[in-house]
Amino acid sequence: MSDQLYQSPISPGRSWYEDSCGERPTYPALDGDTSCDAVVVGGGFCGLSAALHLAEAGTKVVLIDAHRFGDGASGRNGGQMGSGQRAGAIELEKELGFERSKALWDMAEDAKTSLHNIASRYGFDFDYQLGQLTPMHKKSFEAEAREEVEVLSHRYGYKKIEYLDKDKMSSALGSEHYFGGTRDTGTGHIHPMKYLIGLAAAAAKAGAVLHENTAAFSTERNGKIFVKTARGTITADRCVLALNGHHNDLRPELASRVLPIQSFIGATAPLDHNTPVLPNHEAVDDSRFVVRYFRKSKDNRLLFGGREAYGKSTPGDIERAIRKQITEIYPDLSDVEMTHAWGGNVAITMPRMPYVRELETGLWTAGGFSGHGVMLSNYTGRMIAEQFLGKSDQIKLLKDLKTPQFPGGSLFRNPLKLLALTWYAMLDRI
Ligand SMILES: Cc1cc2nc3c(=O)[nH]c(=O)nc-3n(C[C@H](O)[C@H](O)[C@H](O)COP(=O)(O)OP(=O)(O)OC[C@H]3O[C@@H](n4cnc5c(N)ncnc54)[C@H](O)[C@@H]3O)c2cc1C
């Protein structure tokens, strides 16, 4: 494992992304009272994107994060963009009807375009690589994968997805472990920390005032909105709380609806260039409930995410568990050198769709992207900014989704979470 130079105080282990992102700029903590048109709390993809789009329109915006930008999920995730929403189109259509489900699909397509456009507008690279495979871990799931291809290509007009039988999937993966599944050539995967750094620099360039190491302790409304921090109060007309799975005790409404669960990733040393593993550098997310997600970095490392344990973890614990999962799929990698192992909070909701609300007039919150926030948290920040600016009300599509509280509310949800996740992990193995 590499030297522990800087580690996120809110997530275990030092990520490979931190060692491969180049310079990670720092932003000063807030020191003194200030006022602005809009204050954003949370410097992940969602908050930074909101700040960028507000600042581009000439709004005076201040953004604060309790830690360093990207120390939450945004700088430490699997980097897979995917397509559509976390809940599948077929499932959404059953609940919401075709029109709303199609609008949510189209929103996700806009999110892909927006992610690329920001990077080209501000000229930063984020190691984009094309392609996504979703192999089935049970033969009985193949029919669902076939149906998904059928529905998406015919009813949703999405032609970039195809069904791969077991043989073709095995060649694409370099492993016999799975059955058939889908290949999506309309999406890809990114280096999330590089994207995060580029996004923060873009927001600063557009005029947003950015502060790290500045936690919000409370939000109060008295005509204006007051966000209190240790060394100053920010007074604003509008506010975005983009906290995702961290500190959501700031607002009790979030704690009962957005639940943090930990997910873990291990990085190997660069694999041999002749390795059969993922010859086309596509990303993979499998059909398990406790999803295994993996891909190769541009320098040929296997970045493998998964693990089924829920509690405190050291990098050593993470490495052991991830190595076991890698070996199940790629037995030849049983002794592979691992250089990094880390984790982070994935924020989930009951319906696995984000929780987006206007909690009070002008005070919005967004979080709970349920492992599907690389492009969608970014785009949600933009949609909230556009609502503030009176440019578009596309955010209504997410705001109108129902998000029930977790059973047990904020008190008993953690023991119940452990029970439920252990149960689902067991079902994955049957
Ligand atoms: C290990 C892992 C793997 C993942 N893999 C994928 C993937 O492959 N594909 C995908 O689409 N999604 C994935 N995700 C999910 C994705 O990373 C998130 O959905 C997305 O980054 C959420 O962005 P965000 O801005 O909403 O939240 P975050 O990036 O978590 O940012 C929230 C920020 O708010 C700050 N904050 C919280 N409270 C306060 C406060 N009181 N005051 C000031 N600041 C505060 C935190 O410090 C944090 O920086 C993964 C997540 C993890 C952890």
The CATH number that domain 24-77+193-257+352-422 falls under is 3.50.50.60
User: Comparing C-alpha atoms, which of 302, 338, 332, 303 is closest to residue 320?
Assistant: 338
Please tell me the residue having the least CA distance from ligand 1 atom 8: 78
Between the CA of 377 and the centroid of ligand 1 the distance, in Å, is 8
Please tell me the residue having the least CA distance from ligand 1 atom 11: 372
User: Comparing C-alpha atoms, which of 298, 304, 380 is closest to residue 338?
Assistant: 304
Between the CA of 328 and the centroid of ligand 1 the distance, in Å, is 29
User: Does 211 have pLDDT greater than 50?
Assistant: yes
Please tell me the residue having the least CA distance from ligand 1 atom 21: 74
Between the CA of 379 and the centroid of ligand 1 the distance, in Å, is 14
Query: What pLDDT is attached to residue 3?
Result: 42
pLDDT digits (tens, 9 = 90+) for 70-85: 999 999 999 999 999 9
Ligand 1 neighbourhood includes 80 CB (under 6 angstroms): yes
Please tell me the residue having the least CA distance from ligand 1 atom 9: 80
**Least confident among 63-72, 99-108, 373-382, 417-426:** 417-426
Both tokens of 349, joined, read 């909701």
- Which of 377, 380, 382 for a ligand 1 pocket mutation test, highest count of atoms within 8 Å of Cβ? 377
Between the CA of 43 and the centroid of ligand 1 the distance, in Å, is 9
Ligand 1 neighbourhood includes 62 CB (under 6 angstroms): no
Ligand 1 neighbourhood includes 373 CB (under 6 angstroms): yes
Domain-by-domain residue ranges, the chain?
24-77+193-257+352-422
What is the spatial distance between Cα 177 and Cα 282, in angstroms, rounded to a whole number?
16
What is the spatial distance between Cα 169 and Cα 136, in angstroms, rounded to a whole number?
10
What is the spatial distance between Cα 41 and Cα 227, in angstroms, rounded to a whole number?
9
**Least confident among 124-128, 157-161, 289-293, 416-420:** 416-420
Atom of ligand 1 nearest to the CA of 247: 38
Ligand 1 neighbourhood includes 78 CB (under 6 angstroms): yes
Cβ pair 66, 213 in contact under 8 A: yes
Query: What pLDDT is attached to residue 245?
Result: 79
The per-residue DSSP string of 169-193 comes to: HHHHHT-SS---EEEEEEEEE--HH
Calculate mean pLDDT across residues 379-404. 97
Calculate mean pLDDT across residues 243-259. 82
User: Does 430 have pLDDT greater than 70?
Assistant: no
Ligand 1 neighbourhood includes 258 CB (under 6 angstroms): no
Mean pLDDT of the chain, nearest integer? 92
User: Does 423 have pLDDT greater than 60?
Assistant: no
Q: Above pLDDT 70, what percent of the chain?
A: 91
Between the CA of 25 and the centroid of ligand 1 the distance, in Å, is 19
Counting Cα atoms < 13 Å in the Cβ hemisphere of 43 gives 33
Calculate mean pLDDT across residues 17-35. 97
What is the spatial distance between Cα 142 and Cα 287, in angstroms, rounded to a whole number?
10
User: Comparing C-alpha atoms, which of 193, 161, 131 is closest to residue 340?
Assistant: 193
Query: What pLDDT is attached to residue 317?
Result: 82
Between the CA of 75 and the centroid of ligand 1 the distance, in Å, is 8
Ligand 1 neighbourhood includes 73 CB (under 6 angstroms): yes
Query: What pLDDT is attached to residue 11?
Result: 77
Ligand 1 neighbourhood includes 43 CB (under 6 angstroms): yes
- Which of 189, 243, 342 for a ligand 1 pocket mutation test, highest count of atoms within 8 Å of Cβ? 243
User: Does 10 have pLDDT greater than 80?
Assistant: no
Surface-to-core class of residue 361, CB atoms within 10 Å of its CB (0-12 exposed, 13-18 middle, 19+ buried): exposed
